[in-house]
Amino acid sequence: MCPTMNILATEKIKEKIECRYQKGVRHLCESGITKIPRKYILPISDRPLIVKKEEKIEESLNLPIIDFAQLQGPNRSQVLKSLAKACEEYGFFQLVNHGIHSDTIQHIIEVGKKFFELPFEERAKYMSIDMQAPVRVGTSFNQNKDGVFCWRDFLKLSCHSLSSDLLSLWPSSPVDLREAASNYSKQAKFLYQLLVGAILESLGLLNNENNNDSQNLQEFEDGSQLLVLNCYPSCPEPDLTLGMPPHSDYGLLTLLLQDEVKGLQIQHQGKWLTVEPIPNSFVVNVGDHLEIFSNGRYKSVLHRVLVNSSKSRISVASLHSLPYNSKIQPSPKLINESNPKLYKDTDFATFLEYLSSCEHKSKSFLESRKLVN
Ligand SMILES: O=C(O)CCC(=O)C(=O)O
Ligand SMILES: [Fe+2]
């Protein structure tokens, strides 16, 4: 074979292999692999250190617990203090007694499981490389850019305005997906709105006498919402890869549901610690936009997902951000001589451009917004 034909043949084989990975990890697992392909193997320095059960020294983390019912009652000011402390020290907390019925939670998790069990051809109808498509099935973190793929498939549903036009774009199978996801997203949005009010209050930006910030609250409440169903199939070599690489979330707040299988780790005091699932609770975390708005007081913390060799895992993230065209900037009320402005003004569109233009690097977006004082 002449050298040019040789190169062409090699390119064709490469394309074929790439195409195989673009179909996602569930599809890959269905072929019965016992070793993970090279495309998923992280360099040694980025691999997770998985501790064997019998060694029992895996470090887990009991995140601060915020009781939502207490927050709405006479102990509000005390709970607001705990909320502020959790956002400053961990960037994460677990929310209990939040009022969303366990049936609603179980329904969205079940529907997620059923969706990822559908034949590949059915799920593939919703594949798109357009980052702004209202419905998008995909794999890895950013499959157009990732050098090493991660062990995750996802379904992203934009919930911006839940009109019947939007719902008709969502997957029609499983039959109850649209109902479960729209019901769940409405309830998650309502909870987010109450929570973000509490967050503004905990920053000293809202109180009954001074309602100057109602404009801020309105913008925070009206923002965009994206529902992400994550599926992490069991993996034959979990210590060589990750379900999600270290990243921070871009928005204001993320409300995350995880099933009973653990996997989420957060970086705390330089260590990766596993978040113990609490049934029917939410893991809530501060996103980049809130770190910027709070001028660095509340932290958008790196987190990642481990996979395991025996169980698949499902999680559902509801990501809440400011409206698409809003400016994101440190609140002028949180800036003074002793607290100078730490971040450049930015907007959501700039962030999305940044995300689609570069391979994912942990925290790089937030780093790029920092002012050097
Ligand atoms: O699956 C998880 O536990 C975390 C998911 C996550 O970090 C995300 O969707 O941004
Ligand atoms: Fe995340």
Mean pLDDT of the chain: 88
73 C-alpha to ligand 1 centroid (Å): 30
**3 state SS of 259:** coil
Spatial distance between the Cα atoms of 136 and 352, rounded to a whole number of angstroms: 15
Query: Cβ distance 271 to 59 under 8 Å?
Result: yes
Q: How far is the CA of 138 from the centre of ligand 2 (A)?
A: 16
The 10 Å CB-count burial string (b at 16+, else e) for 258-274 is bbebbbbbbbbeeebbb
DSSP string, 15-83: HHHHHHHHT-HHHHHHTT-SS--GGGPPPGGGS--PPPGGG----EE---EEEHHHHTSTTHHHHHHHH
Which among 116, 229, 254 is the best mutation to test ligand 1's pocket, defined by most ligand atoms within 8 Å of the CB?
254
Q: What is the pLDDT of residue 150?
A: 96
Picking from 32, 98, 39, 35, the residue whose alpha carbon sits closest to that of residue 69 is 98
Q: Output DSSP code: residue 170.
A: S
Ligand 1 pocket, Cβ-based, cut-off 6 angstroms = 228, 230, 244, 249, 256, 258, 263-264, 303, 305, 315, 317
In the predicted structure, residue 210 carries a pLDDT above the cut 60:
no
The half-sphere exposure of 195 on its side-chain side, counting CA atoms within 13 A, is 29
SS3 label, residue 262: coil
Is residue 360's pLDDT more than 60? no
**Structure confidence at residue 369 (pLDDT):** 84
List pLDDT tens digits, range 256-309: 999 999 999 999 999 999 999 999 999 999 999 999 999 999 999 999 999 999
Report the 10 Å Cβ neighbour count for 251. 25
> How far is it, in rounded angstroms, from Cα 313 to Cα 154?
12
Residue 177 has pLDDT above 80, yes or no: yes
ipTM score here?
A: 0.99
Q: How confident is the model at residue 62 (pLDDT cuts 50, 70, 90)?
A: confident
Confidence (pLDDT) at 220: 87
The whole-number pLDDT of residue 117 equals 96
Q: Which ligand is nearest to the CA of 301?
A: 2
Q: Give pLDDT, residue 61.
A: 81
pLDDT at 355 over 60: yes
pLDDT band at 320 (very low <50, low <70, confident <90, very high): very high
pLDDT at 373: 53
Q: Measure the CA–CA gap between 319 and 284, rounded to whole angstroms.
A: 10
Residue-level pLDDT at 131: 76
Q: Which atom of ligand 1 is nearest to the CA of 249?
A: 10
Residue nearest atom 6 of ligand 1, based on CA coordinates? 317
pLDDT value of residue 11: 62
Residue 129 backbone phi and psi in degrees, to 5: -100, 0
- Closest C-alpha residue for ligand 1 atom 3: 264
Mean pLDDT of 193-205: 95
CA distance 241 to 80: 38
- Determine the distance separating the centroid of ligand 2 and the alpha carbon of 317, expressed in angstroms: 8
- Write a three-state SS string for 104-138: HHHHHHHHHHHHHHCCHHHHHCCECCCCCCCEEEE
Average pLDDT over residues 27-46: 92
pLDDT(52) > 80: no
For residues 113 and 230, what is the distance between their CA atoms, to the nearest angstrom? 9
19 confidence band (pLDDT: 50, 70, 90): confident
Atom of ligand 1 nearest to the CA of 254: 10
